[in-house]
Amino acid sequence: MAPLAMYFTTTRNQVLFHVAVYDPSLHRIRSAWIRFGSRWLGLLDADAINVEWEHEP
């Protein structure tokens, strides 16, 4: 499930994804929640990306 702060602040104009990527420098798989689009313009604002990494120390 998405972090509650990110889940409750995402509007219907934004897209929320969960991704898993391999980090070769750490030799492990890292996962994150990524939100695309701005609060008011949604996906029309292509530069608006917010990433929340899971399990970061």
Total structural domains in the chain? 1
With contact defined as beta carbons under 8 Å apart, do 16 and 1 qualify? Answer: no
With contact defined as beta carbons under 8 Å apart, do 26 and 5 qualify? Answer: no
Whether the model pTM is above 0.85: no
Q: Rounded CA gap, 57 and 47, in Å? A: 27
Query: Is the pLDDT assigned to residue 43 strictly greater than 90?
Result: no
Question: For 2-37, how does the pLDDT look when each residue is reduced to its tens digit (9 = 90+)?
Answer: 677 777 778 788 888 999 999 999 899 999 999 888
Domain hosting 28: range is 4-53
